[in-house]
Homo-oligomer: A and B are copies of this chain.
Amino acid sequence: MTDSALARWERRTAGVLAAASLLFLASYAVLVLGPGLPGAVRDLCLAVTCAAWALFAADYVVRRRLSGQRWPRFVRTHWLDTLVLLLPLLRPVRIVQAYERVKRRHGRPRFALHARVMLYAGVSTLLLGFAASLAVYQQERGAPGATIQTFGDSVWWACTTVSSVGYGDMAPVTPVGRLVAVGLMGCGLALLGAVVGSFSSWLLQVFAREDENGERPPGSSPGAFDGKG
């Protein structure tokens, strides 16, 4: 019963929270990237950022009440939610989930599991990379001896990090920037795991099907290389 109330709450608020998290990311980006903007615009962005965060906090409190759990237990069992509350830049990742849920409710056919894993991994990496670029740029901008000078540098650095190439022509030098970088490295490892894991399990599925049929079903595996979507 409580679980169902919680589920209903989550279903109803998913759209609002997704919009709020995009607004949060956008207004934070404007704050970081536009230091020369007129004061009114900056104040508006700051207000939007704070309002979005207040919304997240309210949602967190309501969910705790609906779950019927005490605070210490709720914080422990919902540790990822707690983390996302403290680092709201991670929140847009949940949009993929909300989108998926909307699609399912409307009864539309879902992607295959491989495609879904790749979609999650791709969108999460894009959003986290963008958020990390913003955070690192904000930290490094004024730091002495920093190699990351512009936002373009920061995006380039994020790409080399998340693909685990790591040229090293640019690297954060501030403690907070490096903390963000370590998080992004972990994200890169997870992305690699998703790419490789999807690929090898897809191969194994094709093998299993081949073994069953004796012959490869025509057009099933080449289709994956075909580029006809």
Contacts and interface: CB of A to CB of B under 8 A. Distances in A.
B192 A165 contact: no
A169 B160 CA distance: 14
Interface stretch (A19-27, A38-46, A181-189): A181-189
A159 B183 CA distance: 10
Interface in A88-106: 94, 96-97, 100
Interface string A149-160: 000100010011
A112 to B, nearest CB: 10
A68 interface: no
Interface string A95-139: 011001000000000000100010010000000000000000000
A199 B193 contact: yes
Given A171-B167, A195-B190, A185 B204 contact: no
Contacts of A16: none
Size bin of chain A's contact surface: 35 or more
Interface in A22-60: none
A161 B156 contact: no
Nearest to A152: B175
Contacts of A84: 227
A16 to B, nearest CB: 18
A193 B194 CA distance: 9
A185 B159 contact: yes
Given A97-B222, A97-B227, A159-B178, 19 more contacts: A77-B229, A78-B228, A80-B227, A100-B222, A113-B221, A159-B185, A160-B185, A163-B182, A164-B164, A167-B167, A167-B171, A189-B191, A192-B192, A192-B196, A193-B195, A193-B196, A197-B200, A197-B202, A201-B203
Interface of A: 76-81, 84, 94, 96-97, 100, 113, 117, 120, 152, 156, 159-161, 163-169, 171, 175, 178, 181-182, 185-186, 188-207, 210, 216, 221-222, 225-229
